[in-house]
């Protein structure tokens, strides 16, 4: 399918590579399809885009939190595994969404609400780690880097 | 909205499979125990609000992805100082 993207113009993405979110994301419950995109030649950048597949927005900046934090190990509940029909932890992929404060300048990583992806069927869900002490606003860029807001 | 008055130790049953018990009342805090089917997501309300507003910020803010390419020289550790929300 062809996606009209926010940053890369029109991009062709194979249907099988589209992530399907049966429940959408928090605050974006009606949006069910996303594609993971990066700019050509930007393969070394741990950050890339999770672009809505149906329209230009929303487009999120995401990263694999496990690649940045050596000690990020969320405890997933059976309900979370069931949400993406996960049969084996080996096929689980995780993404954290970056967000900014209104005043600008600081970029946060939401480690409290990761996106879980079943890499076999591409079914995905955003979850809230109710019982894990990970911050929703870990500062990755700007003043106070490495701390909560 | 249905509003019920309950004392410590008393329960509310919803739909036959969800049980809520007022386990402790102390000053302005109430401890609530919830038994529900495993596939049901149970969240504190303010956490859901925080998740929605973080996503709204994520969708509306312009983040320079190239500037994030090198978040730090050494791998970050969340460690013990990880703040709770």
The confidence score (pLDDT) of residue B73 equals 47
Pick from A57, A128, A146: CB nearest B59: A57
Calculated CA dihedral for residues B55, A147, A80, A26, nearest 10 degrees: -10
ipTM for the whole complex: 0.90
Position B84 pLDDT exceeds 60: no
Residues of chain B with Cβ-Cβ distance to A70 below 8 Å are: 75, 77
- Which of A39, A82, A135 is the closest to B82 by Cβ? A135
Distance CA A95, CA A99 (A): 13
Per-residue pLDDT at B75: 52
CB-based contacts of A127, cutoff 8 Å, min separation 6: A76, A80, A83, A113, A114, A116
* Higher pLDDT among residues A103 and A132, named by residue: A132
The predicted pLDDT at position A134 comes to 93
Instruction: Please report which confidence band the pLDDT of residue A148 belongs to, taking 50, 70 and 90 as the band edges.
Output: low
| Omega cis (within 30) before B10 | no
Render the burial of A67-103: b for 16+ CB within 10 Å, e for the rest.
ebbeebebebbebbbebbebeeeeebbbbbbbbbeee
Three-state SS sequence of A74-128: CCCCHHHHHHCCCCCHHHEEEEEEEEECCCCCCEEEEEEEEEEEECCCCEEEECC
- For the stretch B58-74, pLDDT in tens is 998 778 887 776 655 45
Mean pLDDT of B2-6: 95
pLDDT at B4: 95
Q: What average pLDDT score do residues A4-25 get? A: 94
A55-83 confidence digits (pLDDT tens): 999 999 999 999 888 889 999 988 899 99
Whether B50 and A126 lie within 8 Å, measured CB to CB: no
| Pick among B51, B62, B81 to test the A interface (most A CBs inside 10 A) | B51
pLDDT of amino acid B71: 52
User: Between residues B34 and B84, which one has the greater pLDDT?
Assistant: B34
Q: Convert the pLDDT of each residue in A32-49 to its tens digit.
A: 999 999 988 888 888 999
User: Which of B52, B58, B68 to mutate to test binding with chain A, by most A CBs within 10 Å of its CB?
Assistant: B58
Averaged over A2-10, what is the pLDDT?
92
**pTM of the full structure:** 0.85
From the list A25, A59, A71, the residue facing B78 with the nearest CB is A71
A13-17, B21-25, B65-69: least confident range: B65-69
Cα–Cα distance list, B73 to A53, A147, B69 (Å): 34, 16, 11
């Amino acid at each position: 399918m062809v996606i009209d993207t926010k940053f890369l113009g029109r991009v062709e993405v194979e249907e099988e590579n589209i992530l399907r979110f049966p429940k959408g994301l928090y605050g974006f419950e009606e949006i069910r399809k996303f594609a993971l995109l990066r700019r050509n030649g930007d393969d070394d950048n741990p950050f890339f885009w999770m672009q809505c597949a149906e329209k230009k927005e929303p487009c999120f900046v995401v990263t694999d939190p496990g690649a940045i934090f050596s000690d990020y190990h969320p405890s997933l509940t059976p309900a979370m595994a069931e949400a993406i029909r996960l049969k084996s932890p080996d096929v689980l992929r995780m993404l954290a969404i970056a967000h900014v404060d209104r005043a600008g300048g600081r970029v946060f990583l939401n480690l409290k609400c990761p996106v879980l992806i079943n890499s076999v069927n591409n079914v995905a869900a955003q979850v809230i780690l109710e019982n894990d002490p990970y911050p929703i606003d870990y500062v990755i860029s700007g003043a106070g880097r490495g701390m909560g807001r | 909205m249905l509003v019920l008055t309950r004392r410590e130790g008393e329960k509310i049953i919803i739909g036959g499979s969800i049980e809520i018990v007022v386990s402790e009342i102390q000053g302005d805090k109430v401890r609530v125990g919830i038994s529900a089917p495993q596939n049901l997501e149970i969240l504190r309300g303010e956490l859901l609000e925080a998740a929605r507003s973080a996503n709204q910020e994520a969708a509306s803010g312009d983040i320079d992805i190239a500037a994030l390419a090198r978040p730090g020289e050494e791998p970050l550790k969340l460690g013990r100082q990880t703040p709770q929300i």
